[in-house]
């Protein structure tokens, strides 16, 4: 996708700064959130078994439930434990012809998952051994590895603690 340049880029950056000034409150002035957290993220997969093998067998996220979708007969709804009481959920929709993944409004750009330094190194080796292309440490982004699951969903393994971004504590 082409990136903005020149005046267009300057205008985008100026608009971002206006939004920061208008809406980003200093830490001590921010209200408490009104929710408890993310219960689960629900994504769509093309093949249940392929998705289970990738997330459980390859990435090491335990499958914790697999049931029929209550809203679409024949569809599976299943969940993986991604730590900290967070669930990653998937649906399949048999008989529905889905288009291939594309980055678009309302779509998932990527899911960033916090990972320890030891797990990061082990995951890097697994990706390389499996021949899965990734971006990150080889391009100067030392604490992240970006790759796609079998469904085209972007994943980031981020060597950073929860609530911290780019070395800055965002959440207390």
For the chain, the structural domain boundaries read 37-94, 106-172
Q: State the pLDDT at residue 140.
A: 73
Specify the CATH architecture of the domain 106-172: Roll (3.10)
Q: State the pLDDT at residue 51.
A: 97
Calpha distance 69→80 (Å, rounded)? 15
Pairing type for strands 76-81 and 144-148 reads: unpaired
Domain 37-94 shares a fold with domain 106-172: yes
Q: Which residues share a beta bridge with 69?
A: none
Pairing type for strands 154-158 and 144-148 reads: antiparallel
Residues of the chain with pLDDT under 70: none
Q: State the pLDDT at residue 66.
A: 97
The pLDDT tens digits for 131-141 are: 999 998 877 78
* 127-132 contacts at long range (C-beta below 8 A, 24 or more positions apart): 130/58
The pLDDT tens digits for 49-73 are: 999 999 999 999 999 999 999 989 9
**CATH number of the structural domain 37-94:** 3.10.180.10
Q: State the pLDDT at residue 152.
A: 92
Q: State the pLDDT at residue 104.
A: 84
Calpha distance 15→12 (Å, rounded)? 5
């Amino acid at each position: 996708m082409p990136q903005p340049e020149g005046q267009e880029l300057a205008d985008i950056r100026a608009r971002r700064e206006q939004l920061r000034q208008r809406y980003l409150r200093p830490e001590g002035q921010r209200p408490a959130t009104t929710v408890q957290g993310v219960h689960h993220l629900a994504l769509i997969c093309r093949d249940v078994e392929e998705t289970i093998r990738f997330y459980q067998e390859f990435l090491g996220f335990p499958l914790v439930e697999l049931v029929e979708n209550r809203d679409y007969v024949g569809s599976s709804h299943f969940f993986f434990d991604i730590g900290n009481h967070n669930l990653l959920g998937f649906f399949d929709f048999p008989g529905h012809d889905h288009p291939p993944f594309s980055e678009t409004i309302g779509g998932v750009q990527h899911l960033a998952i916090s990972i320890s330094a030891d797990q990061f190194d082990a995951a890097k080796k697994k990706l390389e051994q499996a021949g899965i292309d990734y971006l990150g440490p080889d391009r100067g982004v030392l604490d992240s590895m970006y790759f796609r699951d079998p469904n085209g969903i972007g994943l980031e393994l981020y060597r950073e603690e929860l609530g911290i971004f780019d070395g800055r504590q965002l959440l207390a």
